[in-house]
Chain A
Amino acid sequence: MKSKLAAVELFNRLTGGFEPATLFHGVDQSNLDNFEQRWRPELKRRRDEFGSWTDAAKGNAQDSHWAWVEKAANQASYEAFAIEGGGETQGLMLIDVTTHFARIEHQKGLELAFIELLATAPWNRRHFVNQPKYAGVGTLLLRAAVTLSMELEFKGRVGLHSLPQADSWYDRLDITNLGHDVSESMNYYEMSEAQASAFLKD
């Protein structure tokens, strides 16, 4: 079930001003259609410009193979979030709240909100288009993940695997980098309870 969570704002890099948008808990067919018809062709086109998956990082198109539709259709396993603005889906996130557990030593084994997928629309991405449009999508989705974790009494604990080109963002947010996860060939990041409180703080 898709429900409106909050009125939010995205920063339009092209105009330098904030624009109204909406954060939804849950996604519906319009988001999936938007992904299939607007996101996926752009991701595939950009992906095809590079010879290998590793090289595709340069074009910020490594998630062209993400099976969004199939995953989102199985919503019993995931908490889904979407940000809509300017008549389109600007960001999507899927969170698994049942099968992942904390790895940081002092909270090891405790439940957490695991971000299975977090993505902005192709036209909002640096290195994907010359002039990305909206900023704030990642920040707001991450806040939604932490808020969900609080709501579920996970005290803000959040885990995720970062795409390599996004490592610096998670590093700068002061989320603990637990290093390379051999099983996924990506770096694993985890937000502790204290880091979550600091992230939410005004």
Chain B
Amino acid sequence: MKFNYSREWLQRHLVVELDSTVEAGKKLEPDAAQGKSNVVTLSGRVSAITERNQVQMRVALGTLVRQLRSRDALTLAALAEKADISEEELRSVENNPTYTAGPRLLFQLSKFFGVNLNNLYQLSGETVAVDRRLYNRAVKYAAHSADVSPLTPLQRAELDMFVEVLNSAEAVARE
């Protein structure tokens, strides 16, 4: 195997690496490795949220925002401008499940896309408990929508169905 590169090539890529983190690879999550239960039941439909649930909910939130943006043919910059939020925050919400979405961002997204704010809060992973039915729907939705290509008709249908769930779950919870 031969390995060659020019100093110019390295310098060009260094500009990107200098303010980045580069690590890749499988993670070993201590909680999962120890076989702890993912969900601790509190009562009825409500469960305490664990670290794993939090990540899964945030993945669903990121997928939801990305697909709503795709549905409305908006770039990150365009949505940021129209919804009066920071592009960087928006990028983090879409791509980084360790990122905690702030209240203002969630409020603006709720207003812009017409999605129930309380349920967006639950998806952000910041609540201490989560509606199990919403959690299950969110995980299922994210699992079926885990790519970033343009929406297929089926994905569009699943997106519409999930938005409907988000906007009706609160009413169901009050029953």
B41 at the interface (CB under 8 A from A): no
| Contacting pair B20 A13 (CB below 8 A) | no
- For residue B33, which residues in chain A have a CB less than 8 angstroms away from its CB? 65
Question: Contacts A53-B27, A125-B21, A160-B25 given: A147-B3 contact, CB under 8 Å?
Answer: yes
Encode A37-74 as 1/0 by CB contact (under 8 A) with B: 00000000000000011110110101101110000000
B174 at the interface (CB under 8 A from A): no
A164 at the interface (CB under 8 A from B): yes
B168 at the interface (CB under 8 A from A): no
Interface of A is mostly: mixed
B95 at the interface (CB under 8 A from A): yes
B19 at the interface (CB under 8 A from A): yes
B31 at the interface (CB under 8 A from A): yes
- For residue A144, which residues in chain B have a CB less than 8 angstroms away from its CB? 3
Encode B14-44 as 1/0 by CB contact (under 8 A) with A: 1011111111111111110100000000000
A25's nearest neighbour on chain B, judged by CB, is B1
A129 at the interface (CB under 8 A from B): no
Question: Contacts A165-B96, A172-B16, A180-B146 given: A126-B21 contact, CB under 8 Å?
Answer: yes
Total interface residues on B, CB under 8 Å, equals 48
A169 to B20, CA, bound (A): 6
| Contacting pair B96 A164 (CB below 8 A) | yes
B20's nearest neighbour on chain A, judged by CB, is A169
- For residue A163, which residues in chain B have a CB less than 8 angstroms away from its CB? 21, 23-25, 27
CB distance from A85 to the nearest CB of B (A): 14
Counted as pairs of residues, one from A and one from B, with CB atoms less than 8 Å apart, the total is: 174
| Contacting pair A120 B23 (CB below 8 A) | yes
A7's nearest neighbour on chain B, judged by CB, is B3
- For residue A185, which residues in chain B have a CB less than 8 angstroms away from its CB? 27, 29, 52, 55-56, 59, 97
- For residue B4, which residues in chain A have a CB less than 8 angstroms away from its CB? 6
B22's nearest neighbour on chain A, judged by CB, is A138
CB distance from A129 to the nearest CB of B (A): 13
- For residue B20, which residues in chain A have a CB less than 8 angstroms away from its CB? 126, 138, 166, 168-169, 172
A196 at the interface (CB under 8 A from B): no
| Contacting pair B16 A54 (CB below 8 A) | no
CB contact list, A146-190 vs B, under 8 A: 147-148, 151, 160-173, 177-182, 184-187, 189
Encode A90-128 as 1/0 by CB contact (under 8 A) with B: 000010000000000000000000011111100001110
In-complex Cβ contact of A184 among B6, B17, B26 (8 A): B26
Report the 9 A-B pairs with minimum CB-CB distance, sorted nearest first.
A138-B22, A117-B25, A169-B20, A65-B28, A6-B3, A179-B146, A139-B13, A118-B24, A57-B98
Question: A13-B18, A148-B1, A161-B24 are known contacts; what are 15 more A-B pairs with Cβ within 8 Å?
Answer: A52-B31, A53-B31, A117-B24, A117-B26, A118-B25, A138-B17, A138-B22, A161-B26, A164-B96, A164-B98, A168-B20, A169-B16, A184-B26, A184-B27, A201-B9
Residues of B within 8 A of A (CB): 1-10, 13-14, 16-31, 33, 51-52, 54-56, 59, 62-63, 91, 95-98, 142-143, 145-148
Residues of A within 8 A of B (CB): 5-6, 8-9, 11, 13, 18, 23, 25, 52-55, 57-58, 60, 62-63, 65-67, 94, 115-120, 125-127, 135-144, 147-148, 151, 160-173, 177-182, 184-187, 189, 201-202
